[in-house]
Amino acid sequence: MSSPVVKSRNVLKRNSMRVAAALLAALASFVAGPNAALAAAPQHHDRVPGFYRMKVGDLEVTALFDGTGVFDPHWLKGTKATMDGGVKALQEDPHMLDVADVGFLVNTGKQLILVDAGAGTWWGGGAFGCLAGSLRSAGYTPEEVDIVLVTHLHSDHVGGLTTQVGKRVFPNADVYVAKAESDFWLSPEIAAKAPKDAQPFFQSAQAIAAPYIKAGKWHTFSGSEPIVDGMQLVPLPGHTLGHTGYEFSSKGQKILFWGDIIHAQRVQLQHPEVTAIFDIDQNAAAATRLQLLPRLAREHVLIAGPHMPFPALGRLRKEGNEYSWAPVVFTDQWDEHAPPLQK
């Protein structure tokens, strides 16, 4: 039998060991333990391709992110008063006018149609070339695309069609473009006479089109001939000769794929008369924009604008002589049969 003193010493020893064990356990859980919030989460440096999907009537429309680029404020042209006003302030920050580059996929239920194809590897001064990855992330493959409608032949809209070694990215697709557009950019005679600065535009258009022409998959249109059921051609001249919008209608809803109607939304929505140096016919480009924007605002037409902020889908609100952009933000009605957003 132990003495009372020895017994109390043992109790003390046992108690202090219990306290030490509890402290060690707390320390262990602090260092590596179940309370993860106490540990620093590692940062992720990879970026994933992006897509945004919505319904327009019975059409499924998916915005496919291709990349982003810098838009130099000096590329804008307007009156001295306009340029000295708000635009000059933008020139202090070269990133104020950064643009997205987006293509759009329309699944009509019968056909898979791509409208504009992003820059791919054909446009410098930005980070592009994500469109095919975005397409795969959205659940489709390039081989499944039946038709490509291109608004014009600048390489930030058609570069995604072809690799640098001349391979078709969409091997089963028929490509459609306005005849005036195709005739202009693919003409060796016009290219030869063009200023040196414009030469790369001709060279890229010709290289991108070549494998589709060779395969008999390059088609032009010159009027209002139907290419796809429920789709209307909307000539939007000025930016380029055959610059064309594509307006789809379904169940009373409309979506217009408007190409390069707006490059610098921070300036041109306030001042639709301001043009860009890439507009081949400055007066026509301004006139087209001034004519088009009121109708789109009045009719609440959904707009797919490749250079608007991703997902580059939204509507215009008219306020006096100015416009504001109301982007879709997961608020548009989705298919009632679709599952809710993943949590």
Among the candidate windows 82-90, 154-162, 215-223, 329-337, which touches Zn ion by CB under 5 A? 154-162
The distance of closest approach from Cβ of residue 274 to Zn ion in the complex, given in angstroms and rounded to an integer, is: 16
**107 vs 159, beta carbon nearer Zn ion:** 159
Binding segment for Zn ion (CB under 5 A), chosen from 86-94, 155-163, 233-241, 296-304, is 155-163
The least distance separating Zn ion from the CB of residue 205, rounded to whole angstroms, comes to 13
The residue range among 136-144, 239-247, 252-260, 329-337 that interacts with Zn ion, by the rule CB under 5 A, is: 252-260
Quick one: which of 264, 304, 237, 309 has its CA closest to 103?
Answer: 304
Cβ proximity to Zn ion: between 250 and 272 the closer is: 272
CB atoms near residue 76 (< 10 Å): 22
Q: Does 260 bind Zn ion (CB under 5 A)?
A: yes
Listed ranges 13-21, 151-159, 192-200, 236-244: which one lies at the site for Zn ion (CB under 5 A): 151-159
Q: Does 181 bind Zn ion (CB under 5 A)?
A: no
Given the complex with Zn ion, which of 122 and 140 has the nearer CB atom?
122
Specify the residue, 56 or 117, whose C-beta has the smaller distance to Zn ion.
117
Cβ distance 111 to 105 under 8 Å?
no
60 counts as binding Zn ion under rule CB under 5 A: no
Confirm or reject binding of residue 156 to Zn ion (CB under 5 A).
Answer: yes
Our CB check for Zn ion shows the closer of 52 and 201 to be: 201
The pair of three-digit structure tokens given for residue 148, joined into one six-digit string = 């490509």
Residue 116 binds Zn ion, judged by CB under 5 A: no
| Cis ω before 340 (30° cut-off from 0) | no
Q: Is there a contact between 257 and 149 (Cβ–Cβ < 8 Å)?
A: yes
Q: How far apart are CA 202 and CA 185, in angstroms?
A: 5
CB count in 10 Å sphere of residue 13: 10
Write down the least CB distance from residue 144 to Zn ion, Å.
25
Q: How far is the CB of 69 from Zn ion (least distance, A)?
A: 9
In the complex, least distance from residue 102 CB atom to Zn ion, rounded to whole angstroms:
10
Nearer to Zn ion, 60 or 260 (CB): 260
